[in-house]
Amino acid sequence: MSDLQIIWFLLIGVLLVGYAILDGFDLGVGVLHLFIARSDHDRRVLINSIGPVWDGNEVWLLTGGGAIFAAFPKVYATVFSGFYLALMLLLACLVLRAVSLEFRSKQQSPRWRSAWDIAFAVGSIGPALLFGVAIGNVLRGVPISADGEFAGSFLGLLNPFALCVGLLSLTMFVMQGSAWLMMKTSDGLRARATAVAKVSWIAFVALWIVVTAFSKVAAPHLWNNYENALTWIAPVLFVLATVAFLLAVRGGMAGSAFAASSISIATLILIMGQGLFPYMVPSFGNLANSLTISNASSTPLTLKTMLAIALIGMPFVVGYTIYIYRHFTSNVVIDEHSY
């Protein structure tokens, strides 16, 4: 196990955190789109709250996939082939979601807009759920043969543990989305977003407890690294951030709620990463066949070259993200240029 392999394991974790925080809130807004809006104007406000940023947020997912392909090609080959149908479904949802945003306001017909509203919600619920199901399968482990090939089936991916993680992911994104809407809306919409934030917090905490307890049986290897006392820092920070979210919501502090939710997401992913290490994809039933950061990585030259490219390119991605979010800090105002 080399330092470069560990660095790339951490970098992929950072990209995953960036995606979950940023695309997480706009997926959450899409999930809530049909439930807290009371009029066409309300729905336009929700859509335009993410309008300037949603496509940029998805860059983190693409970058993460590219990083896995470059740094751990065996993981890319095994997971992407094994999860093929699920990934095609995810892609279909993302395409449907993007088309819905662009087409919804092209006509004034209520039926036209209602159809695209439903498509937008479905295109948001699907990725929010599938993201968690995929992570749940990686945490639990997938059937891998001795030569590193996926040896399972699509239905096998729909196991109870992965589905529970999928529901946890869905509620996590709803919680993040509701905090975003608290910052970007006012009056009735903000009040309804606040109410959703409180309910989603309860669901999130309950599902986290279920998944944590379930992991002791379904994925006991995740607990091996927690014999080290330092690894418990992340769970403590997660609990503190999750509690801080509820306190901020009750106090009407939207920015603090969003920050607390983001920290909660980041620390939850850190907890999962600590549990997985040094595995990239554990082999269900036989850990000896697992893909690790050692046996699944690219050559040292490739890792070094890609690291140099990442160090050059990442500042541009981070800089662009900071600029966009600083530019669109105010509440949503609907005008002739809005969706």
Give the model's pLDDT for residue 57. 81
Give the model's pLDDT for residue 42. 85
Between residues 134 and 156, which one has the greater pLDDT?
134
pLDDT in tens, 138-181: 999 888 888 777 777 778 888 999 999 999 999 999 999 999 99
Q: 204, 171 in Cβ contact below 8 A?
A: yes
Mean of the per-residue pLDDT values of the chain? 88
pLDDT in tens, 45-100: 888 888 778 777 888 888 888 888 888 998 888 888 888 888 888 889 989 988 98
pLDDT exceeds 90 at position 267: yes
Q: 79, 281 in Cβ contact below 8 A?
A: yes
Burial per residue of 270-286, b for 16 or more beta-carbon CB atoms within 10 angstroms, e otherwise: bbbbbbbbebbbbbbee
| Across 231-237, average pLDDT | 93
The proportion of the chain whose per-residue pLDDT surpasses 70, expressed as a percent, equals 96
Domains in the chain: boundaries: 3-327
Residue 227 phi/psi, 5-degree rounding, is -75, -20
Give the model's pLDDT for residue 160. 93
Could you give the maximum distance between any two Cα atoms of the chain, in Å? 60
Closest Cα partner for 13 from 71, 90, 57? 71
Tokens of 160: 């109870």
pLDDT in tens, 297-320: 888 988 999 889 888 888 887 887
pLDDT exceeds 70 at position 39: yes
Tokens of 212: 């944590």
What DSSP designation does 282 have?
A: P
pLDDT in tens, 28-37: 999 998 888 8
**Helical H segments across the chain, by residue range:** 3-36, 40-50, 54-57, 59-71, 73-82, 84-103, 110-140, 160-184, 187-218, 233-250, 254-276, 300-327
